[in-house]
């Protein structure tokens, strides 16, 4: 599932009794007691990360699986911190808080919507300023699917199906939402 | 031509490549036959788009034939079948065999995104099964699939001239080599170079006869390919006035005996171009050969490729650096339409709007 | 305003960075031990997210499960264009492919690449029918240096298994029975 030279160069990071991580130059794979995460910061390798998960699930066909989240993050970079503040005020009106807080400002906004594709789950958007980067705001779109873990082995099979059939829709949805957030300050 | 044909007119419209090719026929009496399927720029079946432009309902399509399973002939075939709810569906008898059904089931389960002919065939079968429309009808050589009842005008017969039993046997052998083995990597099914079991259709409406050559190839064996048709005693023996030239005019599909035996001298001819890898059909030598056989041959597009899409400069620059060749496949199918009155096979009207050309 | 991929290293305390796929499992007891074996402890980090503007203090945001953090920054890749390709022909030095533009899926293109464009570890995957992703974009090093880049990544899916073949055989048989073939 991975090129031999990447296996040779992989870093295995072990940090916690219940957390293990494996790192390639295009991927971070994390395993916790009840979660498996594949993270990539290279758009050229997003599908490779997906395929590695598909391959992993093929080995874990009998693992009861509750949910699948596909998350796209993008950093919006503004010219000044004032623009970031303005975005915060668009999302959370400042005057709602001035009677109880001194100089209120948006620290994090999460908005959740229902799925429109008939699947069980939700779409959640998180917008949050980035530490030390006064002009940057993280925008994350979480495409979340709930699964029935009791229905073995179909829960992992269902994930593989979702990853394969919904991949492009998920990416398009994330792009659409992020583009919407970008328009809030135009 | 934006007006639908009269009831006593026969029309043959060739569409392609978008990618693939498709042939739409009015066989008289307001009844239509669609052979194969290709798609428009927006990914819809080109045959439906064309019928809609004439104001013809998809329910007027009575027969749909998949000549073979290669993806350039059955793009969006399942959608075409679904929309044409009154149509009987036909394909080669080779496709009902274990070898092809397993191949199609595997391809449908392969996780490889995108269209392959086998996957599209599986999708079509699944639709037919779930909708209760029943199984497709199987074609073999010398099979009459329709005859208009006596008293209805114009008279009409539709025949399948192939595949022969030997062609089916050969196709089955080929399918079995494509079925994945345990431990093999998952891949898209590559488009086979050979196509032994293509379905050739012969249509007579009134006095007009047309031959739709699909991708049938020339073989050295008398029991397969064009030779099997030529040597058959069970087929209608009248010569056709119009030919859809087989396999995009390629040399592999040219059988001089077919031109001598199955067609009138200097017939009307139509074909579509094809591009894959280094293969560009029809080649210049093919064009010259066709031009020597008839002066009335039309190609739906001069070339199967088009100008590359406009992209930002850094992308265009990198494409040039990273590739030896980079071409866009054509976006919308070209079209050539042939019409004539069912009693006058010598008086054809040809509509070949750009990018179609006459050879 | 500009949009960029994040320039910081993957920070897993923010639950997901860039693109992440995360299935959540109910792991049965027998499956837990291999996962947690041979791991050592470290203190959880606070999230590095901050509040916005007005010189406010940073607001640490925690996660229920402490997750590891990268120790080394990795280069980023931001795509300007992506295709899905299917290999159609292979020669001694080149391969040809049909490309589907992932920004405009109705656009199909054909390209011929030198085999030299492919990573050595992917060469044995190249055969007719092999599927790959081709990206053109900018690679940004942790130092900030940016360069135009073309990346070919071949798909690596689980190989066909006995079960896969049996399932296909069963499905085909069921279909043939249904159609009376």
Q: What is the domain-level CATH number for residue C112?
A: 2.40.50
Q: Which chain B residue's Cα is nearest to C164?
A: B106
- pLDDT of residue C37 exceeding 70: no
Highest mean pLDDT among A19-23, A80-84, C174-178: C174-178
Model confidence over B191-230: pLDDT tens digits? 777 777 899 999 999 999 999 999 999 988 899 999 999 9
**pLDDT higher than threshold 70 for residue A45:** yes
pLDDT (0 to 100) of residue C26: 52
Judge whether C61 lies within some domain: no
Look at residue B276 in the predicted model and tell me its pLDDT: 74
Q: How does residue C67 score in pLDDT terms, banded at 50, 70 and 90?
A: very low
Contact B325, B308 (CB under 8 A): no
Is the backbone peptide bond immediately before B355 cis, with ω within 30 degrees of 0?
A: yes
Whether the per-residue pLDDT at A74 is higher than 80: the answer is yes
Contacts across the A-B interface (CB distance below 8 Å): 5
CB atoms within 10 A of CB B30: 14
At C10, the pLDDT band (50, 70, 90 cuts) reads very low
Instruction: State residue C57's pLDDT score.
Output: 29
- In 3D, which of A100, A78, A124 has the Cα closest to residue C52? A78
Helix (H), strand (E), coil (C) string for chain A: CCCHHHHHHCEEEEEECCEEEEECCCCEEEEECCEEEEEECEHHHHHHHHHHHHHHHHHCCCCCEEEEEEEEEEEEECCCHHHHHHHHHHHCCHHHCCCCCCCCCCCCEEEEEECCCCCCEEEEEEEEEECCEEEEEEEEEEEEEECCCCCCCHHHHHHHHHHHHHHHHHHHHHHHHHHHHHHCCC
Residues A81, A48 share a domain: no
Residue C116 domain-assigned (yes or no): yes
Residues of A in contact with C18 (CB under 8 A): 39-43, 72-73
Residues of the domain holding B118: 9-358
- CB neighbour burial string for A15-40, b if at least 16 within 10 angstroms, e if fewer: bbebbbbbbbebbbbbbbebbbbbbb
Q: For C166-176, what is the mean pLDDT?
A: 95
Last residue within a domain, chosen from A60, A77, A105: A60
Neighbours of chain A (3+ CB pairs under 8 A): B, C
Among residues 57-76 of chain A, which lie with CB inside 8 Å of chain C?
57-60, 63-76
The answer to whether the CB atoms of C3 and A14 lie below 8 A apart is no
Question: Per-residue confidence at C44, pLDDT binned at 50, 70, 90?
Answer: very low
- Are residue A144 and residue A94 in the same domain, yes or no? yes
Residues of A with CB under 8 A from a CB of B: 54, 160, 164, 167
> Regarding predicted confidence, which is higher, B67 or C37?
B67
Q: Which domain holds residue C115?
A: 76-154
Residues C93 and C136 in one domain: yes
Whether omega before B193 lies within 30 degrees of 0, making that bond cis, reads no
Whether A85 and A46 map to the same domain: the answer is: no
Q: List pLDDT tens digits, range B221-279.
A: 899 999 999 999 999 999 999 999 999 999 999 999 999 999 999 999 999 998 876 78
Q: What is the largest CA-CA distance in chain A?
A: 61
Q: Do residue C29 and residue C80 come from a single domain?
A: no
Position C178 in a domain = no
Question: For chain A, what is the domain count?
Answer: 2
* Chains sharing 3 or more CB pairs under 8 A with chain B: A, C
Report how far apart the first and last C-alpha atoms of chain B are (Å, whole number).
21
CA dist., res. B40 & res. B335, Å (int): 12
Q: Flag whether B2 is in a domain.
A: no
Q: Is residue C45 part of a domain?
A: yes
State whether C84 and B308 contact (CB < 8 Å): no
- Looking at A38, A60, A82, the residue that finishes a domain is A60
C positions 69-88 inside 8 Å of A (CB): 69-72, 74-79, 82
Lowest-confidence segment of A96-105, B48-57, B123-132, C38-47 by average pLDDT? C38-47
Same domain, C145 and C85: yes
Same domain (yes/no): C44, C83: no
Q: How far apart are CA A175 and CA C49, in angstroms?
A: 22
Record: contact C25-A36, CB cut-off 8 A: yes
Identify whether the C-beta of residue B69 lies closer than 8 Å to the C-beta of residue B17: no
The answer to the question of residue B4 being in a domain is no
Q: What is the DSSP letter of B7?
A: T
pLDDT(C70) > 80: no
C-alpha dihedral (C108, C109, C110, C112), degrees to nearest 10: -140
Place of tokens 């031509």: B1
Q: Kindly calculate the radius of gyration of chain B based on its CA atoms and give it in whole angstroms.
A: 20
Number of domains in chain C: 2
Averaged pLDDT for residues C126-143: 92
Residue B25 to residue B5: CA distance in whole angstroms:
10
Cβ–Cβ contact A128 with C under 8 A: yes
Cβ proximity of A74 and C5 under 8 Å: yes
pLDDT of residue A25: 83
Contacts of C85 in chain B (CB under 8 A): none
Tell whether C111 is covered by a domain.
yes
pLDDT confidence band for C19 (50 / 70 / 90):
low
**Is residue A19 within 8 angstroms of chain C, CB to CB?**
yes
Test mutation, A8, A35, A42, chain C, max C CBs within 10 A: A42
Low-confidence winner among A10-14, B35-39, C130-134 (lowest mean pLDDT): A10-14
Report chain B's mean pLDDT, rounded to a whole number: 92
- Which of the two residues, C142 and C5, has the higher pLDDT score? C142
- Would you call C5 and A74 a contact, using CB atoms and an 8 Å cutoff? yes
pLDDT of residue C35: 23
Mean pLDDT of B12-23: 89
Q: Does the pLDDT of residue A30 top 90, yes or no?
A: no
Is A54's CB within 8 Å of B111's CB? Answer: yes
Instruction: Say how many domains are in chain B.
Output: 1
Rounded to the nearest angstrom, the minimum Cα separation between A165 and chain B is 8
Q: What is the mean pLDDT of residues A32-54?
A: 90
Chain A residues within 8 A of C22 when measuring between CB atoms: 35-38, 68-71
List of long-range contacts for A165-170, beta carbons under 8 Å, 24+ apart: A166/A117, A166/A119, A167/A47, A167/A50, A167/A70, A167/B113, A168/C102, A168/C105, A169/A117, A170/A70, A170/A72, A170/A143
A106 and A150 part of one domain: yes
Q: Measure CB to CB from residue C19 to each of A58, A65, A72 and give the nearest one.
A: A72
Instruction: State whether C178 and B129 contact (CB < 8 Å).
Output: yes
Task: For residue B19, give the nearest of C108, C150, C155 by CB distance.
Answer: C108
Write the burial class of residue C3 (CB in 10 Å: 0-12 exposed, 13-18 middle, 19+ buried).
middle
| pLDDT band at B141; cut points 50, 70, 90 | very high
Q: B113: which chain A residues are within 8 Å (Cβ-Cβ)?
A: 164, 167
**Cα–Cα distance, C108 to A6 (Å, whole number):** 32
CA–CA gap between residue A106 and residue A84 (Å, rounded): 10
A36/A89 same-domain check: no
Domain CATH for B146: 3.60.15.10
Roughly what angle, to the nearest 10 degrees, separates helices A154-183 and A46-59?
Answer: 160
CB < 8 Å to A79, chain C: 1
pLDDT at position C47? 26
Residue C73: closest C-alpha in chain A: A25
Instruction: Please check whether residues C83 and C138 belong to one and the same domain.
Output: yes
Is there a contact between C31 and A72 if contact means CB atoms under 8 Å apart? no
Determine, yes or no, domain membership for B87.
yes
Min Cα–Cα distance to chain C from A56, Å = 9
Residue B1 in domain: no
Q: Tell me which of B186, B306, B317, B329 to substitute to probe the interface with C (most C C-beta atoms closer than 10 Å).
A: B186
Residues of A with Cβ-Cβ distance to B111 under 8 angstroms: 54, 160, 164
**Res C60 pLDDT > 70:** no
The residue of chain C with its CA nearest to that of B98 is C172
Range of the domain at A77: 63-186
- Say whether both C146 and C91 belong to one domain: yes
What residue has token string 């779930």?
B130
Q: Which two tokens stand for residue B290?
A: 């066709």
Band the pLDDT of A93: cuts 50, 70, 90: confident
The residue among B219, B223, B261, B222 whose CA lies nearest residue B240 is B261
| Lowest-confidence segment of A54-68, B5-19, B94-108, B155-169 by average pLDDT | A54-68
Any A CB within 8 A of C160 CB: no
Beta carbons of B331 and C106 less than 8 Å apart: yes
- Our CA-based measurement puts residue A126 at a distance from the nearest CA of chain C, in whole angstroms, of 11
Out of B32-36, B41-45, B263-267, least confident range: B41-45
- Is residue C101 in a domain? yes
Share of chain A above pLDDT 90, in %: 32
| Nearest CB partner across the interface for A41, out of C5, C28, C102 | C5
Q: Which of A122, A90, A117 is nearest to A106 (CA)?
A: A90
d(CA A12, CA A27): 12
Rounded to two decimals, the pTM is 0.83
Residue C110: name the closest of B356, B324, B70, B250 by CA. Answer: B324
Give A115 to chain C, closest Cα distance, Å.
18
Residues found in chain C = 181
- Work out the minimum CA distance from B109 to partner chain A, whole angstroms: 10
- Smallest Cα distance from A79 to chain C, Å: 6
The whole-angstrom separation of Cα C71 and Cα C40 is 16
CB count in 10 Å sphere of residue B314: 14
CA distance C30 to chain A (A): 11
Interface membership of C155 toward A (CB under 8 Å): yes
For residue C150, the chain B residues in CB contact (below 8 A) are: 318, 321-322
Measure the CA angle with vertex B82, ends B80 and B83; round to 5°.
Answer: 65
CA distance B56 to B87: 14
Same-domain pairing of C41 and C107: no
The domain boundary, picked from A10, A27, A60, lies at A60
Q: Do A17 and A74 lie in a common domain? A: no
Report CB contact under 8 Å: C39, A44. Answer: no
């Amino acid at each position: 599932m991975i090129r031999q030279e990447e296996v040779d160069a992989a870093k295995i990071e072990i940090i916690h009794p219940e957390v293990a991580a494996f790192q390639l130059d295009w991927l971070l794979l994390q395993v916790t007691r009840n979660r498996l995460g594949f993270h990539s910061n290279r758009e050229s390798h997003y599908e490779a990360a997906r395929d590695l998960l598909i391959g992993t699930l093929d080995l874990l066909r009998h693992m009861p699986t509750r949910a699948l989240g596909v998350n796209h993050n993008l950093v919006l970079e503004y010219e000044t911190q004032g623009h970031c503040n303005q975005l915060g005020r668009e999302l959370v009106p400042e005057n709602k808080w001035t009677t109880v807080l001194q100089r209120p400002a948006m620290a994090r906004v999460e908005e959740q919507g229902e799925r429109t594709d008939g699947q069980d789950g939700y779409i959640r958007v998180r917008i949050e300023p980035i530490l030390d980067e006064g002009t940057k705001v993280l925008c994350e779109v979480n495409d979340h699917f709930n699964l029935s873990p009791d229905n073995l082995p179909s829960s992992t099979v269902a994930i593989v199906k979702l990853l394969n059939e919904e991949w492009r829709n998920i990416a398009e949805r994330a792009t659409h939402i992020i583009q919407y957030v970008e328009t809030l300050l135009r | 031509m934006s007006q639908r044909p009269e009831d006593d007119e026969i029309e043959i419209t060739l569409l392609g490549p978008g990618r693939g090719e498709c042939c739409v026929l009015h066989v008289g009496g307001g009844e239509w036959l669609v052979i194969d399927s290709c798609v428009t720029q927006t990914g819809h079946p080109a045959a439906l788009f064309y019928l809609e432009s004439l104001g013809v309902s998809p329910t007027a399509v009575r027969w749909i034939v998949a000549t073979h399973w290669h993806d350039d002939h059955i793009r969006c075939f399942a959608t075409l079948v679904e929309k044409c709810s009154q149509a009987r569906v036909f394909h080669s008898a080779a496709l009902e065999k274990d070898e092809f059904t397993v191949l199609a089931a595997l391809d449908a389960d392969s996780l490889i995104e995108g269209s392959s002919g086998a996957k599209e065939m599986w999708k079509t079968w699944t639709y037919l099964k779930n909708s209760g429309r029943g199984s497709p009808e199987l074609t073999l050589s010398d099979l009459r699939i329709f005859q208009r009842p006596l008293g209805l005008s114009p008279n009409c017969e539709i025949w399948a001239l192939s595949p022969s039993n030997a062609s089916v046997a050969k196709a089955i052998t080929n399918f079995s080599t494509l079925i994945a083995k345990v431990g093999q990597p998952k891949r898209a099914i590559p488009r086979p170079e050979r196509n032994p079991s293509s379905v050739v259709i012969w249509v007579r409406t009134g006095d007009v006869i047309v031959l739709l050559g699909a991708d049938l190839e020339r073989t050295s064996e008398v029991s397969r390919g064009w030779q099997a048709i030529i040597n058959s005693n069970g087929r209608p023996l009248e010569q056709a006035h119009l030919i859809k030239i087989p396999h995009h005019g390629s040399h592999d599909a040219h059988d001089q005996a077919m031109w001598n035996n199955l067609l009138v001298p200097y017939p009307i001819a139509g074909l579509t171009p094809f591009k894959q890898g280094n293969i560009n059909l029809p080649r210049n030598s093919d064009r010259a050969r066709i031009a020597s056989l008839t002066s009335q041959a039309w190609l739906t597009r001069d070339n199967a490729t088009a100008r590359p899409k406009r992209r930002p400069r850094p992308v265009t620059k990198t494409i040039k650096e990273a590739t030896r060749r980079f071409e866009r496949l054509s976006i919308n199918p070209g079209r050539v339409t042939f019409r004539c009155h069912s009693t006058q096979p010598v008086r054809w009207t040809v509509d070949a709007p750009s990018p179609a050309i006459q050879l | 305003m500009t949009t960029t991929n994040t320039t910081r290293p993957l920070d897993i305390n923010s639950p997901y960075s860039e693109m992440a796929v995360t299935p959540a499992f109910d792991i049965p007891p027998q499956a837990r031990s291999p996962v947690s074996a041979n791991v050592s402890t470290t203190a959880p980090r606070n999230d590095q997210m901050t509040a916005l503007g007005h010189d406010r203090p940073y607001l640490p945001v925690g996660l229920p499960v402490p997750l590891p953090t990268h120790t080394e920054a990795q280069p980023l890749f931001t795509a300007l264009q992506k295709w899905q390709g299917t290999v159609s022909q292979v020669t001694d030095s080149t391969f040809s492919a049909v490309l589907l533009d992932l920004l405009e899926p109705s656009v199909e293109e054909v390209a011929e690449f030198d085999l030299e464009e492919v990573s050595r570890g992917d060469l044995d995957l190249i055969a007719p029918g092999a599927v790959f992703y081709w990206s053109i974009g900018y690679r940004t090093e942790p130092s900030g240096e940016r360069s135009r880049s073309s990346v070919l990544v071949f798909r690596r899916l689980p190989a066909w298994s006995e079960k896969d073949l049996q399932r296909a055989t069963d499905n085909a048989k069921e279909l043939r029975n249904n159609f009376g073939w």
